[in-house]
Amino acid sequence: MNLTNLLMAFVAFFPVALAHSWVEQLMKIGSNGAFVGEPGYPRHFVGRTEPGYNDDIFVYLLPPNGRGSGILPSDKISKYSREYRDEFPMLKAAPGDMVALRYQENGHVSLPDTQANKPLNRGTVYVYGTADAKDDDKLLSVFGQWTADGKGGDGRGRLLATRNYDDGQCHQDNQGEIALSRLAQFPKGNDPLQGEKNLWCQNDIRLPNDLAEGTIYTLYWVWVWPTLTPELRPNSKDGKFPMQGEGVSILYNPSLESWTF
């Protein structure tokens, strides 16, 4: 099998009142829908049970605290350079493979009233891919610029998928109404990764078929998670809403948060 290495870069947008979320594991999806092979991990990954673990390892605020402005053209999309820890390697996959990007919802789905006026789809995830990633890639040069046909922006990458943050099944053990309902609807039993009463969210994407053997292919995972004005929120169920500017509340600043691993 011709293998393609995946470097993972992640960006997520939301205020910091709740515990954070980020893609914690990648798995290939077989033809029968089951996970196959060994897992892959983001850049600089640190497991939640490791000594010294804390959210600050991953958090990358845009705009940063105290700046008081929106996203700037100089803001990088990446927090970390392309380095991996030996015990948490990048995913190995073939061109055309289906890949699941898995993350804990941390209450953003199952406790929707904790933060007022969030998008009804719990935010929209955009997954971009490139075989020509640069450590100084800028957020605004990728987000909203790269297109599915690969011709948008500077032409170095493409939009692979647009997904709701809430996949319709994920939940965590917080005794909330949504969590309890989904636990009953989607029982899975106990497992060492998720436990018995937690089910991680996932975004499924297909890798391009035209990647050359040995390609290091970088994914940018972008979660748009603004606080909307009360007037705009009722129309946000379809996942289309502004990232900043008109219709986005300034009650929470920063309103964007990003990671790159």
Residue range 145-190, pLDDT digits in tens? 999 999 999 999 999 999 999 999 999 999 999 999 999 999 888 8
Residues of the chain with pLDDT under 50: 1-2, 8-19, 250-261
Query: Are the C-beta atoms of residues 115 and 175 closer than 8 Å to each other?
Result: no
H helical segments located in 100-170:
139-142
For 104, the token pair is: 């804990």
Q: How far apart are CA 181 and CA 186, in angstroms?
A: 9
Euclidean distance between CA atoms 118 and 113, whole angstroms = 9
* Sequence-ordered alpha helix ranges (H) in the chain: 139-142, 177-185
User: What is the DSSP-derived secondary structure letter of residue 229?
Assistant: P
Q: Which two tokens stand for residue 241?
A: 């809403």
Supply the pLDDT for residue 154. 97
Instruction: Name the phi and psi angles at 101, rounded to 5.
Output: -100, 115
pLDDT at residue 186, as a whole number:
94
The one-character DSSP state at 211 is P
- Encoded tokens for 167: 């996949």
The whole-number pLDDT of residue 258 equals 45
d(CA 162, CA 101) in angstroms, rounded, equals 13
Question: Which pair of structure tokens corresponds to residue 124?
Answer: 């929209």
pLDDT score recorded for residue 179? 95
CA distance 24 to 12: 13
* Residue 137 vs residues 29, 123, 134: alpha-carbon distances, Å: 29, 23, 5
Q: For residue 243, what are its two tokens?
A: 């990232």
Q: What is the pTM of this model?
A: 0.88
